Structure 1
């Protein structure tokens, strides 16, 4: 059975005190009303990691960084290494998010370094892939996503690849109010699983959780999550409201 996962990505939101209160509220709601078979992850700013780990019941809620450095240590002012992330008690790290690629110039070469360091430090990478609007409108999204994966996660061994979570982001549906239809989500998720099977075999493909990462809300979570190949969500704005986040968690 693949894991059902709902991961929040707080992005550059909440100060430390607000973040701790949000994490506390999510923890309370999940403990009382959350689905027992769903893995819940909070992707917080670096500044929040240690306090959020201390605040939540880590048997119920996992904690994730939103990025890590491409180098293990050294004279890289402002960078946070995978080892530093691990030392906070965090278990996950989001890598390859479209905003990191677009605004900070992250390349496949950079991501390969980050993936290796994350795995070396026993962090679970939540690896993001997905296409912008012009690619979707051209109908070449499958080729685009396949190339993203071939240049990065398909460079890993099957054993390391099995440690990942994949998050598909329709970039055209993030923060735009647009949402992929349930059919569009299933189609691309099924395609991703098929190319994983081609590369690593069907057994590996059936073990990997693939999350949907585009404008998922309590109102559409159930429809999205009923798809055979959609194993949960990487949630942006709705993860900043504990009740909305719970509604998504209970969308299965």
Structure 2
């Protein structure tokens, strides 16, 4: 069973003090890491103090971005090596806002993914619904072209260490409504794309998140889908109680499954 990953993306919200207050409010109320993984993507200034405040608890700290080089004359950029040294565990790569506002293309995102892996962190690769038709073993499949271009050059061993987030453009933004059925279909096609390029065994192990207007009202319906292994939550994650409510609802879905898996392993 793939362990669920519940990640908050705060974007450019919260001061450092706000971020630390949030962590203080949630850190004693998070479920066991055996059931699911929790994470928060905050802005750069808050990352290191948040790492210090989350030692020993089920809350991984996520960078929203990093550069594709470890050092050099790149004013304003942040090195993946520096992030890793600060204790950051995950880095988002290719978020739709990075692509649309800052014009990041597949080539740059691919370089960032490679640098994050080299630094020993886990990239969370964001991708949208851009697809093409390709033939595999005589069958025509829909392939996530954007994602596969980013993964070009990522080896079998490396790809097992990535997380993918499906964030369709129709669902990202305030006022939109997440459709669990369409979300599941997108995540299923991503898994199929991974299987066609790597193997079904690899595809079965990779965690695929859904990002797009996730909130306390729809999170259980989304997480109840077979190919959705977690969520990347935007605005709804800014409130500590909201975040805890969503984590709790996912834990309620997965706790019985985690117990069954644990019992099976003991046998």
Q: TM-score, normalised by structure 1?
A: 0.91
Are positions 1:49 and 2:38 aligned together?
no
For residue 231 of structure 1, what is the aligned residue in structure 2?
Answer: 229
Whole-angstrom CA distance in 1 between matches of 2:198 and 2:47? 33
For residue 131 of structure 2, what is the aligned residue in structure 1?
Answer: 142
Contact 1:50-1:89 at 8 Å conserved across structures? yes
Q: CA deviation at 1:36?
A: 4.8
For residue 25 of structure 2, what is the aligned residue in structure 1?
Answer: 25
Are positions 1:103 and 2:101 aligned together?
yes
Are positions 1:115 and 2:113 aligned together?
yes
Q: Indicate how the Cα distance of structure 1 residues 22 and 145 shifts in structure 2: closer, same or farther if over 3 A, else same.
A: farther
The structure with more radius of gyration: 2
Q: Indicate how the Cα distance of structure 1 residues 14 and 145 shifts in structure 2: closer, same or farther if over 3 A, else same.
A: farther
Q: CA deviation at 1:38?
A: 0.9
Q: Indicate how the Cα distance of structure 1 residues 58 and 114 shifts in structure 2: closer, same or farther if over 3 A, else same.
A: farther
For residue 179 of structure 1, what is the aligned residue in structure 2?
Answer: 177
Q: Indicate how the Cα distance of structure 1 residues 161 and 113 shifts in structure 2: closer, same or farther if over 3 A, else same.
A: same
Runs of 4+ in 1 over 6 A off after TM superposition: none
Contact 2:33-2:58 at 8 Å conserved across structures? no
Q: CA deviation at 1:54?
A: 1.0
Unmatched runs of 5 consecutive residues or more in structure 2: 133-141, 251-267
SS of match in other structure, 1:171: coil
SS of match in other structure, 2:74: coil
Supply the RMSD in Å over aligned alpha carbons.
1.6
Whole-angstrom CA distance in 2 between matches of 1:51 and 1:177? 33
For residue 62 of structure 1, what is the aligned residue in structure 2?
Answer: 60
Greater share of helix: 1
For residue 14 of structure 1, what is the aligned residue in structure 2?
Answer: 14
Count of matched residue positions in the alignment of Structure 1 and Structure 2? 241
SS of match in other structure, 2:126: strand
For residue 159 of structure 2, what is the aligned residue in structure 1?
Answer: 161
